[in-house]
Amino acid sequence: MHFSDLNLNKPLLKAIFEKNYETPTEIQQQTIPLVLAKKDVIASAQTGTGKTAAFALPILQLLFHQQDPNKKQKKIRALIVSPTRELAHQINEEFNDYSKYTSLRSTVIYGGVSIDPQKKVFKKGVDILIATPGRLLDLCKQEIVDLSTVEILVLDEADLMLDMGFINDIKKIHKLCPNEKQVLLFSATMPSKVVHFAKNLLSDPEIVAVSSKKTEKSSVKQLLYYVPKPNKIELCLYLLRNTIKGNILIFRRTRNGVDKLEQTLLKNGFKVESLHGEKSQNLRQNALNKFKNNEVNILIATDLASRGIDIEDLDVVVNFDIPNVSETYIHRIGRTGRAGKKGTSYSFCSADEKNYVVDIQKAIKKAIPIVEDHPYPLQPNTKAIVHKKKSGSKHKKGRKSVASRKNKKRWY
């Protein structure tokens, strides 16, 4: 199949071919016709499968053919809600690329930067708005943004939005839009909470699910290192000096972990930048630009900060902390080994993460090769650590349990 087989108009096809795209991906083949038919859609596919074009192209097509030439002032007709600033910026860039031969205008708004320049954009009129939830609601409260004319609402990376606690914001945004609208929900994963959430917002949706099996590619060489937790940084330094080369993306679970590793690598002479939620938008964008422009070859990030970021020519992914969700592992390693190129993933597993590896190997239906020849091996009989302290342990465990229940309550 070619893009010309999807009934897209000439201005869109011209823009697509200029980007050297000829064959639509599986998610695009299945989703574009449904969106053009004005169906509500729930679509799941891993990062790197072309989800943005799967909704951007049909939205541009629908808006292009339904323009009213007599209307001088543009109104917001399509709204794309994104969980992170970087992803929102990236989506807007794709809309600009695809719409370059149309008169449709898109813009992006997000927090972390001055609100005044964003206010001025709406005086000129906008067809397509890409926004993060918090800044969008701020502008709605100030009556700068009017969502009463929205025809198509897109919720992108829905699983991440729920994990970040945006569920109430999304419900508010949904109510600010007209009752009669087309709703599209895209997600890298489809846990039960996303399915439940979608059922309350979408009307008789079509389901598109691209198997994650294709994401765990043979072009990604996976390696597993068992290592004591205190020695992970030493192992990382050892491998960076002796084994790991090229452009490297290192995942850490927490912001503090990102900062600690960045400081250590800088002290040891490595060129490194980092991404996490506590950094300002300018710092995050500068870090990403430096990595993309090869000014630094190492980027350290949390999963939340890096979600949706498209990085070309990524040679290596390092799982410094093993993710506790197997789909997150698949999502991470799928960032390398793209477009027929080879990539390698290195995973550092401490004793308390062994169960996560078991779940991951079940999900990918294969054992990850273990590298035993390194200076910091974990003792072979070391099991996952279960803390059982004589005093105070119950109290601490109880507090942790309460915190966990609070977090669960927040997501639902």
Q: Tell me the CATH number at 88.
A: 3.40.50.300
- Sorted by sequence, the CB contacts under 8 Å of residue 155 that are 6+ apart come out as 81, 161, 170, 183, 184, 185, 186, 201
Q: Do 93 and 205 fall within a single domain? A: yes
The C-alpha atoms of residue 186 and residue 236 are separated, in whole angstroms, by 35
Q: What are phi and psi of 173, to 5 degrees?
A: -65, -40
User: Of 210, 232, 253, which marks where a domain is finished?
Assistant: 210
Number of compact structural domains in the chain: 2
Which residue range forms the structural domain that includes residue 131? 3-210
Asked whether 283 and 310 are in contact (CB, 8 A), the reply is: no
Bridge partner residues of 145 (DSSP): none
> 162 and 267 in one domain?
no
Closest by Cα among 327, 329, 292 to 309: 292
pLDDT of residue 218: 62
On whether both 114 and 88 belong to a single domain, the answer is yes
User: Are 79 and 161 members of one domain?
Assistant: yes
Q: Are residues 168 and 289 in the same domain?
A: no
- Domain C-terminal end among 210, 230, 260: 210
Record the pTM: 0.71
Does residue 392 sit within a domain? Answer: no
Q: Which of 163, 181, 210 is the last residue of a domain?
A: 210
Per-residue model confidence (pLDDT) at position 398: 43
Q: Are 281 and 89 in contact (CB under 8 A)?
A: no
In the block, tokens 């397509």 appear at 128
Residue 358's contacts (CB-CB under 8 Å, 6 or more residues apart) are none
Are 289 and 196 members of one domain? no
Residue 104 lies in a domain: yes
Token reading at 197: 């959430």
pLDDT, position 339: 63
pLDDT, position 248:
96
Name the strand (E) or helix (H) holding 343. Answer: strand 343-349
Same domain (yes/no): 203, 239 = no
114 and 233, same structural domain?
Answer: no
- Spatial distance between the Cα atoms of 248 and 246, rounded to a whole number of angstroms: 6
Together in a domain, 107 and 175: yes
194-216 burial, b at 16+ Cβ within 10 Å, e below that, comes to beebbeebbeebbebebebeebb
Residues 243 and 191 in one domain: no
Residue 21 located in a structural domain: yes
**Sign of the torsion angle spanned by Cα atoms 177, 180, 182, 183:** positive
Please indicate, yes or no, if residue 58 is contained in any of the structural domains. Answer: yes
Q: What is the pLDDT of residue 62?
A: 96
Q: What is the pLDDT along the chain (412 residues), one digit of tens a residue?
A: 889 899 899 999 999 999 988 899 999 999 999 999 999 999 988 777 789 999 999 999 999 987 665 566 689 999 999 988 888 988 999 999 999 999 999 999 988 777 888 888 887 889 999 999 999 999 999 999 999 999 999 999 898 888 788 999 999 999 999 999 999 999 887 878 888 888 889 989 999 988 654 444 467 999 999 999 999 999 999 999 999 999 999 999 999 999 999 999 999 999 999 988 777 777 888 888 899 889 999 999 988 766 666 677 889 999 999 998 887 888 888 888 876 678 999 999 999 999 999 999 998 889 999 999 999 998 766 554 443 444 444 444 444 443 443 343 333 2
Query: Could you tell me how far CA 361 lies from the centroid of its own chain?
Result: 22
Distance, in Å, from the CA atom of 328 to the CA atom of 288, rounded to the nearest integer, reads: 21
- For every residue of 26-58, DSSP letters joined together read HHHHHHHHHHHTT--EEEE--TTS-HHHHHHHH
- Asked, for residue 68, whether it belongs to a domain, the answer is yes
Do 152 and 220 lie in one domain? The reply is no
